[in-house]
Amino acid sequence: MDTNTAGSSMNGASDEKIAAVETFRTSSLFTPAERAALELAEAMTLTPPEVTDELFETVCAHFSEAQVVELVATIAMENYRARLNRAFDIEAQGLCRLRGITPAPPLKAWEATA
């Protein structure tokens, strides 16, 4: 999340929007397309993944076929990186600090499953 937050911030996402990702379903900061993308990311991250036909149709209503492919590939890559980081207990490197928001301490691999 550290490098993703830094990248999102550099590409125009406000600190408020980044901090509101956890509440994307109810936050007025997100467009319907962004909500669909975040819901897809959440569904793909579950073990096992739970991407319903209805969710996929919603995503396809907001994005072109090429964009859907890129979105799914990016989510899959981020899931791969997150699992690799957990296995090797790689913590955030402090690359991004949101203004006015105190970050939670990083989880150890064994804490993530508790």
Q: Measured between alpha carbons, how far is residue 52 from residues 56, 61, 71, 79, 87 in Å?
A: 6, 14, 16, 18, 28
Q: What is the pLDDT of residue 1?
A: 46
Q: What is the pLDDT of residue 94?
A: 66
Spell out the domain ranges in the chain: 2-87
The 10s digit of each residue's pLDDT in 47-101 is 999 999 999 999 999 999 999 999 999 999 999 998 898 888 888 766 656 555 5
What whole-number distance in Å separates Cα of residue 93 and Cα of residue 39?
A: 27
Share of the chain above pLDDT 70, in %: 70
The pTM of the whole model exceeds 0.85: no
Q: What is the pLDDT of residue 6?
A: 47
Q: Which of 1, 20, 30 is nearest to 97 (CA)?
A: 1
C-beta of residue 51 within 8 angstroms of C-beta of residue 60 = no
Structure tokens at 75: 């989510």
C-beta of residue 62 within 8 angstroms of C-beta of residue 33 = yes
DSSP 17: H
